[in-house]
A and B are shown apart, each in its own frame.
Chain A
Amino acid sequence: MSSNRAARLGEEIWKTRIDKVSAELVTLTYGTIVAQLCKDFDNDYIEVNKQLDRMGYNIGLRLIEDFLAKSNTMKRCSNFRETAEMIAKVGFKIFLNITPMVTNWTNDNKQFSLVFEENPLADFVELPDDGRAQDELWFSNIFCGVLRGALEMVQMQVEAHFISDILRGNDTTEMRVSLIRYIDDELPPEDD
């Protein structure tokens, strides 16, 4: 599916098939969760990152069905570039009404970056000023888990992590997504 078609599809679903809630509700709920995790794990931000990723993973496993049903997807993406377009222009669009930019492809077409120009999860947020959060906490790390879980359900094993975050003082918020392999559970063809 071309980039434009994906964008149009995302736009159309967003307009016609999505129930909307207040963005602030989402922002506040997510912020509370992260803050509570930080409290529960005594500001062990590495552990908080892990927990967020795990929560996202569990969301992704379920969310993918909703994505497939809403987008009425009948064919799977024929390559990873198409997958990236679908994630950015349909997935993020229909669930969060944002369209991160797909960029920085590697030559083997197995790794790309999502650059978030806006991020509803991070509105109003300032990271704790304890000298560590700025270096260790990936506030929106739940996204990584969601992508990992959702793609795993459609037979793609990926790895996703943030490499920069405006909250940390970087210029952009950028996530790196790498395809590890396609999980094809069919038996390999028998050789005679």
Chain B
Amino acid sequence: MIRICTEFALSGLLPSVLKEHFKSICDKEARTLTLLLTYTHTSHFTPFISACCIDKLTSFESRPDAGHLSAAQHQKAESHTSIHATIKLIASTTIAIVNMTVFTLIIINKAGGLIYNRTFQEGGLNKLSTNDYLVLAGTFHGVHAITTRLNPLKQSLSSPPSRSSIPPSSTTTGATSSTVPSRPEPPSGLEVLESENFRMQCFQTMTGTKFLLFTDTTQANVDLTIRRIYDLYCDYVMKNPFYQLEMPVRCDMFDRKLLSYVREINNR
């Protein structure tokens, strides 16, 4: 068991500090297990570790020297079985919550109005009232607009040359690409917001629509997920001839496609 736990620890799933810790204590079986239990509560790597725990503990029980562990644990007034049960419990609950989850999608139109919100994972985040979602959308829109202006350096570097290039272009007769009035890239605003429990990523389309995706903090490839959701939005919202632009999205087909797409991710 120790060997396998250590392998896990060294395989890059755990932060390097923990790796060191593991190395130093891996000669004491019982403590390793307790330690694992502690980490199960605190680390992001819960699913891996708890799954590993269950596996190894089960195989460990069948080994002849299993008594060694039990004895050590008895000293701490904890029975082997209760540890086993605890690990199982923690493992099952944490896997359900932490296993790469997309919680909520919010779509904000270019005027800052909430046009869509959907929660995918019950129990992932607390539910807000519709009013709160509206406020969240409006507030985020405002904050996003202000953060785009927090970019004085880029602005001051790129604007003056482009301004000065316009007058000559209108006077010169030979139109060459060097006199094309350029349009500097707009500064981007707030893109990611993170808390202890969730990560919110904002994707603003070129037309000004914003997609906010609330996910678990360990969720990978959120960029791709949002792009895919944008594809679905293009197909099932924008191409629905009876959808009125800028108005709340009430498209069944979009709901269904979105749900099945997100379910696929959440069950991965």
Contact = CB atoms under 8 A, between A and B. Distances in A.
A76 B184 CA distance: 9
Interface in A145-192: 153-154, 182, 186
B180 A79 contact: yes
Given A76-B185, A109-B169, A65 B180 contact: no
B175 A77 contact: no
Interface string A57-88: 00001111110111011011111110000000
Given A76-B183, A80-B180, A65 B205 contact: yes
Nearest to A66: B234
B245 A78 contact: no
A68 B170 contact: no
B205 A77 contact: no
Nearest to A67: B234
A105 interface: yes
A108 interface: yes
B245 A68 contact: no
Interface residues of A, number: 27
Given A77-B183, A80-B180, A107-B170, A62 B239 contact: yes
Contacts of A16: none
Contact of B183 (A69, A72, A79): A79
Contacts of A107: 169-170, 172-175
B238 A66 contact: yes
Interface of B: 149, 169-170, 172-175, 177, 179-186, 205-207, 209, 227, 230-231, 233-235, 238-239, 245
17 contacts: A63-B238, A65-B230, A65-B234, A68-B206, A69-B231, A72-B227, A73-B206, A76-B183, A77-B183, A79-B183, A80-B181, A81-B180, A105-B175, A107-B174, A109-B179, A154-B207, A182-B183
